[in-house]
Structure 1
Amino acid sequence: MNISCPNPDCRVAETGKCVEGFNVEECPHQKSAVAEPESPDQHASSDASGTQERPSDFFVASGNILTIAEATNVLRSGTTRVITIIGPSKSGKTTFGVSLYDAFQNGTFDRWSFGGSLTLPAFEKRCHLARAESGKSSPDTQRTPLSDGLGFLHLAIYSNETRRVNLLISDRSGEFYTAVADSQEDIKKVYEVARADYVLFLLDGEKLASDERHGVKSDLMIVLETFVEGGILGKYHRVGIALTKYDLVLNSGLRERVENDFNRLLESIRKRYASALLEINATKIAARPTNNLVEPRFGVLNVLEDCMRQRACKDFVTPARLQVDRWFHRLSIIDGGAQ
């Protein structure tokens, strides 16, 4: 073991004796040197540049649904799309998100391949009631409690055209959106709408085929109006209006009436908000059909493709040039010469 001393006159490394007359073991300088030895962990944490990463620089996924801060880390990590799903309780918000996850259980989903997930346990928890292991006689989906607040499910998917893209799917109780539309007190807390690349409003097809048809249409219009008037939904947002549970619509015997109601609602929305929003799309969905009238995940791929599309750019308009009478004033300088 090499011995050194901060006293410049000490030659303990050469002679093995303390210049101040102490035994080497009793020298106060040697005691202070060995009192707090450098741990291997401390040594390993320092690199050649002398920098050490802080704990806040790391993001270790727990597998649970992502918080706003964790979702922000995903946004910073690479190409990301955020899809926000708006709808009342039991309209199919969570079921839609779970159906995207289920689409990759047996391989690719059309042109898309599974690239990973930071929330696999969260997906599985929401899928459990739809699996045989749950012991339920019919598939169901775990509802999102109001107390859970806002969270995000995560999927990484890729295709030959887009390469790897992160997809963040909002997960929030439908009661929250209803409360916002009623009071507008929490309108600024709807962060998932302001940041969304695609906002999907769900219209419950089962209720549209029932005596509640007028109520569900009115509720959707109120929420949409609240978001637009509140300034969190605007000209940079792409919006989708989805008629959910389309399998039940087909089985109701009222398909024509339901589709007429849906089309009239869509026409009203476009007439009123076409200038306020970037685009308004319409689709029909049966994320987890209960009959054989439609295929599994009917309409889900269309929504995914709409979400993954890049926002359309507005055409550039050449600014008008000032017209002057004198030819001299019309000259412009190009590379030092006159035109």
Structure 2
Amino acid sequence: MSEVKACSQVGCDIRNDGKCLEGLDQECPHFYWDDNADDEEIAENESPSVVKKSSTKIEVFKGAELSLKEMLSITQRYPCDFVTILGDLDCGKTTLLATIFDLFQIGQFKKHLFAGSLTQKAFEVRSHLSRMSSGSIKADTERTKTLDFRILHIAISNFDLSLKKHFLLSDISGETIQLARSSGSAMKEYLGVVKLANHIIYIIDGEKLAGSEKTAALHDAQLFIQSALDNKIFNSETVLNVLISKWDLLENLATFNLEELVVNKINKRFSAKLKAINYKRIASRPHDENLTAVDMGFGLQDLIEDLMNFPLLQKRLTLQSEVSERFINNYKVNENER
């Protein structure tokens, strides 16, 4: 887009011949630069009297969520740890993202500080229903609807070590996980990019474990892990971080034993097939803080600590061909020290 001389005064033809009606040119109070001129139209009718002004506009990040293709605009700027957050519908994936963002704003993480985000608007959108300004009576999180990966960026600094790390956090719908679990082709198409992750998180819904769906919830988790192994999304080098969400509903439940009902069963089936399986209890946003000793963001300090302490290696994405919205085809991974 080019800018040309223009005048708001009737009868002035400066746009065509470059001459001010009153001979004042840029000192004329009616003069302005028109930045809506069509370059092709100007080229056809251009004369020596038409003056072009180079544009000084700078494209900035909109702060919205990113697609997999757009994610590269971040990785080209910073070394980033890619964190994929997986789990069934309503297990708390998006709530986890929103709560991390909220806790940084109130200074909940003692050793770590928020060091910036190029998707801050996307974090705000996910936090909106938990704010008073939303008009909601009860804190909530809008459910992720798209089947495709959405990416959020956040930088975190360690106050004691003067360390700053950039993270790309995935937000993907539970429907995608269900589809991938039941179909090998869907697993490869929608979740192939998980192979590039520095951190793989799988969330098991604590609310289901607390009720009549505990057997189904554990079965679905095991079925997903097995399918990911069968389709080479997970392998013997995979470190799987299993988060038990909504721990406030489980902490005082006499009939629930985490080791017996979850840890032992998953380890027995998969510990020999994966490099490691880690378990954590979290409660991003307790259902009723008046009825439990579990505070908002329970367990997230330890999660952030683990992410920050991960070895300083970077998996960079380098495109070799077209990038689709659903899957990065023909990628190459380079590991470099930061």
Q: Which residue of 1 aligns with 2:197?
A: 196
Note the residue ranges of structure 2 that are not aligned, 5 or more in a row: 1-45, 314-338
Q: Which moved more, 1:271-280 or 1:234-243?
A: 271-280
Cα RMSD of the aligned pairs, angstroms, is 2.6
Mapped contact 1:59–1:70 kept (Cα < 8 A): no
Q: Which residue of 2 aligns with 1:299?
A: 299
Asked if 1:282 corresponds to 2:279, the answer is: yes
Mapped contact 2:115–2:155 kept (Cα < 8 A): yes
Alignment partners' CA distance in 2, 1:65 and 1:158: 22
Aligned match for 1:265, one of 259, 262, 278 = 262
Mapped contact 1:205–1:245 kept (Cα < 8 A): yes
Asked if 1:101 corresponds to 2:101, the answer is: yes
Deviations 1:167-218 (A, max 9, x none): 1111010011111111222222314421111111111111111111100000
Identify if the C-alpha distance between structure 1 residues 192 and 286 changes in structure 2 by more than 3 Å, giving closer, same or farther: farther
Q: Which residue of 1 aligns with 2:90?
A: 90
Deviation at 1:71, TM superposition (A): 1.6
Aligned match for 1:41, one of 54, 57, 74 = 54
Deviation at 1:138, TM superposition (A): 1.0
Alignment partners' CA distance in 2, 1:294 and 1:175: 29
Q: Amino acid of the residue matched to residue 215 of structure 2?
A: H
Alignment partners' CA distance in 2, 1:178 and 1:161: 41
Q: Amino acid of the residue matched to residue 98 of structure 1?
A: A
Mapped contact 1:108–1:114 kept (Cα < 8 A): no
Percent sequence identity over aligned pairs? 29
Q: Amino acid of the residue matched to residue 258 of structure 1?
A: F
Q: Which residue of 1 aligns with 2:227?
A: 226
Deviation at 1:95, TM superposition (A): 0.4
Task: Give the structure with the larger strand fraction.
Answer: 2
Identify if the C-alpha distance between structure 1 residues 164 and 108 changes in structure 2 by more than 3 Å, giving closer, same or farther: farther
Identify if the C-alpha distance between structure 1 residues 301 and 119 changes in structure 2 by more than 3 Å, giving closer, same or farther: same
Q: How many residues align?
A: 264
Q: Which residue of 2 aligns with 1:127?
A: 127
Q: Which residue of 1 aligns with 2:250?
A: 249
Mapped contact 2:179–2:187 kept (Cα < 8 A): no
Deviation at 1:63, TM superposition (A): 1.2
Mapped contact 1:126–1:142 kept (Cα < 8 A): yes
Asked if 1:146 corresponds to 2:146, the answer is: yes
Alignment partners' CA distance in 1, 2:151 and 2:96: 13
Deviation at 1:311, TM superposition (A): 4.7
Identify if the C-alpha distance between structure 1 residues 154 and 191 changes in structure 2 by more than 3 Å, giving closer, same or farther: farther
Identify if the C-alpha distance between structure 1 residues 312 and 219 changes in structure 2 by more than 3 Å, giving closer, same or farther: farther
Deviations 1:77-109 (A, max 9, x none): 223112211111111000001111011112361
Q: Amino acid of the residue matched to residue 62 of structure 1?
A: K
Deviation at 1:74, TM superposition (A): 1.6
The DSSP-based 3-state class of the residue aligned with 1:241 is: strand
